[in-house]
Chain A
Amino acid sequence: MAELLMVEAINDAFHVELARDDDVMVLGEDVGRAGGVFRATAGLRERFGENRCVDTPLAEAGILGAAVGLCMAGWRPVTEMQYDAFSYPCLDQLITHVGRYHWRTGGQMEFPLVIRMPYGGGVRAPELHDDSPETYYVHTPGVKVAIPSTPADAKGLLAAAIRDPDPVVVLEPKLIYRSERSEVPEGEHVVPLGRARLAREGDDVTLVAYGAMVPLCERAAEELEGEASVEVLDLRSLRPLDEEALLASASKTGRVVIVQEAPRTNGFAGELAAILAEKAILDLRGPVLRVTGFDVPYPYWKIEDAYMPSVERVAAAVRKLLAF
């Protein structure tokens, strides 16, 4: 085991997966010579050559559209979108082709590509470097979505995405790219898509989260020590979704608060709340609450703390639910 930062674990996954499978290649803006603006692809061009880690022109739809053609030629392309909000030009290719092409061929041709991007707020960045766009992706049929919250999962989920036969979007919480070192298995390490992780066990209330909201929920759980025993469920992938783990935890604690940094309306928290309403209503002792961003453009960073879910907001929701 090595102690790695999340972004180092991602880089480690690339080194392992490119060495393991000659069909895997990386393309994106600044991924080669610079090794990525966050250094996630550092050393790949030097080690595997300029044809397996390619600096492309600055064109997100072109990157993803070319990746579709690369799949047809037998490659497993891993594309990088430099930032969350820079991925929007690629939504055209994602929705019209990436999520549909396998279906369009009657299941006869596979498109094992990966779209990965740093996402999320709290990083004191200029406009459009802070979005949490998971809903767009998870709402697109034919596409899977994974979101790690620890260095080990960042490595394992990326490896799973690269090996998956379907298109997978991996959203990497940049707020915690370099926040903490923790143990990451060396060599091949795969975390299967669709299995949630119980980040913390508790009896009174469940906090459901993904990405950078997981460590936030863990801090909220500590804050609430003495008042309530709080469970934290890290979903790790939104599709496939580990519904079993969600329902099991809801049934155990009877109280659920869902935390997401994306805007509120139609966010993934709403989907989770609907599942709980359909399948766990008799297990619940109170309403499913959401702590989310707001239905406004992501703010300039001087006031971004007021937008992002905080320990205080999460703790307040828990107290409200306990008092229900």
Chain B
Amino acid sequence: MARLAHDESELRRVIDEDREVEGLGEQELLDLYRSMVLLRTYDERSVVYHRQGRIGTYAIFWNHEAMQAGAVHALAERDWIFPSYRESAIGLLRGIPAATILHWWRGHPAGWWNPADYNVASICVPIASQVPHAVGLAWGKKLRGEDAVSLVFFGDGATSEGAFHEGANFAAVLQTPTVLFCNNNQWAISTPLSAQTRADALADKAVGYGMPGIRVDGGDVLAVYEATREAVERARGGGGPTFVEALSYRTAPHATADDPRVYIDLERVEAEKQNECLGRYERYLRRLGVLGDDLDASIKNEAAELMRAGIAAAEAEPEPDPELLFEHAYVDPPPNLREGWDG
């Protein structure tokens, strides 16, 4: 196995090197941009909606858009995505209505969806516990002779969890077509990466599982796309799982309830914000001559309009019926489920 890049200057990059990714035409480049703008708009509007009291506590993913869009665009529609709460809006890229995701953050049962309708699993709250699900799904598909791949998102903190380890080991042993995608933003709420692991690089963990690891600049959407595409191709071709470590830096609070000023290096945050992923990609597209002012404005307006319509639809939804308490706990509920309920 090749030595991994441990120096940040050795990370796989496309944008800063002004390379082009093979097979990506103008249309695909713009589709990627649209997805990033959509995610950015969702995120920025959600913070506003939270401040306005229109949604509850919200986990911000500002500057994670390159990792999220880059990874998802490397998948086929039949491939499954397993998001953590940091990727709560990932379903937007698969056609889940914005209102549905807003409902999830509004604590409204209309935030439910059927994973099989979009090949997007439910938003996973307990850290890393979705990793074995992604492995099981990919395994189950493989056993059925279907060539679907699963991609599971998790953060740097998740690599300390037992569920990550068990999932990664199952994936390797069973050679499941799975991409383990780690968005390493170097913070787990207030805990820095140095307090999470003594490993030089999280991607080194791949060696111990007997799977390839790729380390990539998580702020470079094209590098993320290219690396994930390699992992997906290997998975679909029967080559088993890959660990992708996308390195970035958390520039926003962990969530709307968090104040990172007490623990984070604010100068580093400011420096990272100057190099945030959407701006980097926008400048690249403009250098290529693919994106101009008019097109950019229309893409951003489209995303803003989708969010306006989304929050309007969410707020127009009637309050949920308390009877829903008893719906869906079981397919075939036990007879005494409503014991003590008088409506």
Which positions in A face B, CB cutoff 8 Å? 25, 51, 56-57, 59, 61-62, 64-75, 89, 92-93, 96-97, 101-110, 141-142, 144, 164-166, 194, 239-241, 243
> Cα distance A56–B112 when bound, in Å?
32
Q: Are A93 and B328 in contact, with the CB atoms below 8 A?
A: no
CA distance A199 to B32 in the complex (A): 67
Q: Chain A contacts of B144 at CB under 8 A?
A: 73-74
Partner of A69, one of B134, B162, B169, B331: B134
Contact B328 A107, beta carbon cutoff 8 Å: yes
Q: Which of B114, B126, B141 contacts A108 (CB 8 A)?
A: B114
A86 to chain B, nearest CB (A): 14
Select from chain B the residue with minimum beta-carbon distance to A194: B334
- Asked if B122 contacts A104 (CB within 8 A), the reply is yes
A105 touching B334 in the complex, CB below 8 Å, given contacts A56-B170, A57-B169, A74-B140? no
Shortest A190–chain B CB gap in Å is 14
For the complex, give the distance between the alpha carbons of A96 and B162 in Å: 14
Distance A110 CA – B330 CA, assembled complex (angstroms)? 9
A72-B331 CB under 8 A given contacts A65-B167, A106-B109: no
Contact with A along B309-343 (1 / 0, CB 8 A): 00000000000000000011111101110000000
**B329 CB contacts on chain A under 8 angstroms:** 102-103, 141-142
Instruction: Check A243 against B139 for contact (C-beta < 8 Å).
Output: no
- Known contacts A67-B136, A73-B136; A106/B332 CB under 8 A: no
Pick the most buried of A66, A70, A96, A165: most chain B CB atoms within 10 A of its CB: A66
Instruction: Point out the residues of chain A lying under 8 angstroms from B129, CB to CB.
Output: 65, 92-93, 96-97
Bound form: Cα–Cα A189–B119 in Å: 36
Is the Cβ of B332 less than 8 Å from the Cβ of A65? no
Cα A144 to Cα B150 with chains together (Å): 29
Contact of A62 among B132, B137, B141, B331 (CB under 8 A): B132
Q: Which single residue of chain A is at the shortest CB-CB distance from B152?
A: A69
Q: Which residues of B contact A97 (CB under 8 A)?
A: 129, 133
Q: Please determine whether B331 and A102 come into contact, CB atoms closer than 8 angstroms.
A: yes
Question: Shortest 7 CB-CB distances between A and B: which pairs?
Answer: A69-B136, A65-B132, A73-B140, A106-B112, A62-B166, A107-B328, A240-B334
List residues of B whose CB falls within 8 A of some A CB: 80, 109, 112-117, 121-122, 125-126, 129, 131-141, 143-144, 146, 150, 162-163, 166-167, 169-170, 173, 327-332, 334-336
Q: Is the CB of A72 within 8 A of B334?
A: no
Q: Which of A68, A164, A194 contacts B335 (CB 8 A)?
A: A194
B132 contacts which chain A residues (CB < 8 A)? 61-62, 64-66, 68-69, 93
Total A-B pairs, Cβ < 8 A: 144
How many Å lie between the Cα of A97 and that of B137 in the bound state?
14
Is the CB–CB distance between B139 and A70 below 8 Å?
yes
Nearest chain B residue, comparing its CB with the CB of A108: B114
What residues of A have a CB within 8 angstroms of the CB of B109 in the complex?
A: 106
* Alpha-carbon distance A194/B334, docked complex (angstroms): 8
Instruction: Give the chain B neighbours of A240 by CB distance below 8 A.
Output: 334-336
- With A62-B132, A65-B167, A69-B135 already in contact, the answer to whether A106 and B114 are too (CB < 8 A) is yes
B140 A70 Cβ-Cβ under 8 A: yes
CA distance A259 to B19 in the complex (A): 73
Closest residue of A by beta carbon distance from B114 = A108
| Set of chain B residues within 8 Å of A166, measured between Cβ atoms | 330-332
What residues of chain B lie closer than 8 Å to A65, measured between beta carbons? 129, 131-133, 135-136, 163, 166-167
The reply to whether A57 and B173 contact each other, CB–CB distance below 8 Å, is yes
Q: Which of B80, B140, B162, B169 has most chain A Cβ within 10 Å?
A: B140
Output the nearest chain A residue to B169 by Cβ-Cβ distance: A57
Q: Are B136 and A101 neighbours in the complex by a CB distance under 8 Å?
A: no
Contact B122 A101 (CB under 8 A): yes
> Quick one: given A72-B137, A73-B144, are A110 and B167 in contact (CB under 8 Å)?
no
B135, B141, B162, B166 — which one has the most chain A CB atoms within 10 A of its CB? B166
A69-B137, A106-B109, A144-B330 known; 15 other A-B pairs, CB under 8 Å? A57-B170, A61-B132, A61-B162, A62-B132, A62-B167, A66-B135, A68-B136, A69-B135, A69-B140, A71-B140, A96-B129, A101-B122, A106-B114, A106-B328, A107-B331
A96 to B122, CA, bound (A): 12
8 CB < 8 A contacts A-B: A62-B169, A66-B132, A66-B133, A67-B136, A70-B136, A102-B331, A108-B112, A166-B330
A165 to chain B: closest residue by CB:
B331
